[in-house]
Amino acid sequence: MRGKGAGLLQSVERAMRVLDHVAAAAGPVPARDVAAALGLTLPTTYHLLTTLVESGYLVHLSELKAYALGHRVDDLARGLHRQIAAPPEIRRVAAVVHRQAHAPAYYAALRNAEMIVAHVDECPDHPRVPVLGVGFHEAPHATAFGKLMLATLNPADREELLDRHGTPAVTPATVTDRSQLLRQLHQVRGAGLAVEVNEFQPDLSCLAAPVNDAAGRFVGAVAVSLPTPRLRADRRTVERVVRLGGVRASRAMALRRALHTGSASPL
């Protein structure tokens, strides 16, 4: 993680900032608004917008004199979903966790110091948290699987990540104090389980267990979300299901690796 920012092309970085700004807007955005929001000159902004339009990442809505996302963004999203898709073995583990915990189950994969949701197993009776769809990767300090990642990072990388993203309050219960968060992460390492209560959404809690590869390296997490009152009433049962899900997913990942490398012992 260290050294991020070195060797950046300023024009590309600016174009990505423009794309992010348009993506975050509620509707089409005029060029002047983009320039003002990002501190760019208007000519530079027009050059960047034109480049993004030509490549299909933005469209120019001439009747509105504004810009909006283009079709290539959807292509990128589909490509991301393909690349992070959980293998069948992990999807089966998530289905078991969902059924046994009576709660939506998630698999989040570690990708370059980010925990990204790669699979969700849900049903009408136990739907996922709306924002926690495939591709979600935000607020690691406020999610159970994010806390697992932060607990496994070496101190220097963890501090760099927290310095870059901060610890904003997602809800009134979010742990935002760095010292308190570090104490919480110490508890996560000791327990081998992460729990967040009302930190990501009010009246909602999540539990996450680590998934390790054959070498014991942290590669992801099995998690569930459920109403906080139910966590308090059924924590022991739900925790057991989530922990077992993490063990099963770790075994599945190790076996998958062994089969792909030809090192699995014949049955």
Amino acid occupying residue 103: A
- Is there a contact between 59 and 53 (Cβ–Cβ < 8 Å)? yes
The topology under which CATH files domain 10-71 is: Arc Repressor Mutant, subunit A (1.10.10)
Is 70 exceeded by the pLDDT of residue 83? yes
User: What pLDDT band is residue 245 in, cutting at 50, 70 and 90?
Assistant: very high
For residue range 59-70, list pLDDT tens digits in order. 999 999 999 999
Count of other CB atoms within 10 angstroms of residue 35: 19
What's the sign of the alpha-carbon dihedral 197, 134, 177, 193? positive
- In the chain, the amino acid numbered 81 is H
Q: In the predicted model, is pLDDT for residue 265 greater than 70? A: no
If pLDDT is split at 50, 70 and 90, which confidence band does 167 have?
very high
Angstrom CA distances, 28 to 24, 32, 69, stand at: 10, 12, 8
According to CATH, the topology of domain 85-261 is: Beta-Lactamase (3.30.450)
Distance CA(78)–CA(137), nearest Å, equals: 16
Q: Read off the amino acid at residue 109.
A: A
Domain segments of the chain: what residues? 10-71, 85-261
Beta bridge partners of 226: 205
pTM equals: 0.76
In sequence order, the 6+-apart residues with CB closer than 8 A to the CB of 100 are 241
Is 136 in a helix, a strand, or coil? coil
Q: Residue type at 37? A: A
Confidence of residue 163 (pLDDT cuts 50, 70, 90): very high
